[in-house]
Chain A
Amino acid sequence: MIVAERKPLEQISSMIESNSKVLIVGCGECVTVCSAGGKKEVDILASALNMIRIKESKPIEIRQETLERQCDAEYLEQLRGFIGEYEVVISMACGAGVQFMAEKYKNSLVLPALNTKFIGVTEEQGVWSERCHACGDCKLHLTGGVCPIARCSKSLLNGPCGGSANGKCEISPEVVCGWQLIIERLSDLGQLEKYEEIIPINDWSTNRDGGPRKVVREDLRL
């Protein structure tokens, strides 16, 4: 899933300083799972912003909605009837959702309430961590199913670097060395000989370096 985190309240409230009619829209997918922008978080943000504005003697009218998801036009359509009544829309979706809403409602000012962090997993209740950088050319078959790009702080394809110690990355004792994991996995799988194959210099054009990316499936197009 895409993992995100709410921006500080102060930043959100300063974005809407001069507005008095605000629509807050949550998203029912990833950001609900990572407790950043689902219905619950919409309620909390609305309540908090409401209190901040009462305190500042600048009352505000807030409407709360949570869509199935914000990255599909059909769900965004559900706002069509009333979005125009609001001066600003605060989207609690990931960066993609915020932008898509802005694209679909050209006359509305759509603001982000979250900081979109990464593609990751729920490691345990309340803990999420990164797994994939969406490099566009998955290499997991070469590295025992552990991503060298997202899980090595230097995205080394032939790691580990000299900074790996006791299984931890040189950047912090809190960060597991991705290459340690790769080597452990390869050895568990009896594939340690794979380690000796040099992974050639990467083609980063499938990554963001190649410019904004797009996937087209002609067979599915209408």
Chain B
Amino acid sequence: MRLNYPPNVKIIKVPCTGKVDVIHLLQAFERGADGVYIAGCLEGDCHFLRGNLRARKRVEYTKRLLDEIGIGGERLQMYNMSAAQGPRFAEVAREMTERIMTLGPNPIRAKNRKP
């Protein structure tokens, strides 16, 4: 199935969202990402039992850090979907892209751009 999702979305694959740590999310922003979202399995469907639930809590924690830093926690979001929900994946990609468009670029990236 080929689905269209915005080309600005860069996918990083991990075996389980439980692998995603706070520092990975922060570094994505530090390196200029305008937004990050995590697509985890549906709650209750984690192959490692609680990986996606852990990820959600880390996302919440990182959102607060991003607020403290002044980047804005709304640039980070956790979604849950199953591997069979291709259209949902595309929809989320568009939703996130739209949200970021409204928020504008990551202030770090704007400042960091070498002249």
Contact = CB atoms under 8 A, between A and B. Distances in A.
Tell me if chains A and B make direct contact, with any CB pair below 8 A. Answer: yes
Interface in A51-86: 51-52, 54-55, 57
Given A10-B68, A54-B112, A55-B111, A47 B27 contact: yes
A48 interface: yes
Interface residues of B, number: 16
B27 A40 contact: no
B68 A9 contact: yes
Query: Interface residues of A: mostly helix, strand, loop or mixed?
Result: helix
A10 B69 CA distance: 8
B65 A54 contact: no
Contacts of B100: none
Interface of A: 8-10, 40, 43-44, 47-48, 50-52, 54-55, 57
29 contacts: A8-B68, A9-B68, A9-B69, A10-B68, A40-B21, A40-B22, A44-B22, A44-B26, A44-B65, A47-B23, A47-B26, A47-B30, A48-B26, A48-B65, A48-B68, A48-B69, A50-B30, A51-B26, A51-B70, A51-B71, A51-B108, A52-B69, A52-B70, A54-B111, A54-B112, A55-B69, A55-B70, A55-B71, A55-B111
B84 to A, nearest CB: 32
A130 to B, nearest CB: 23
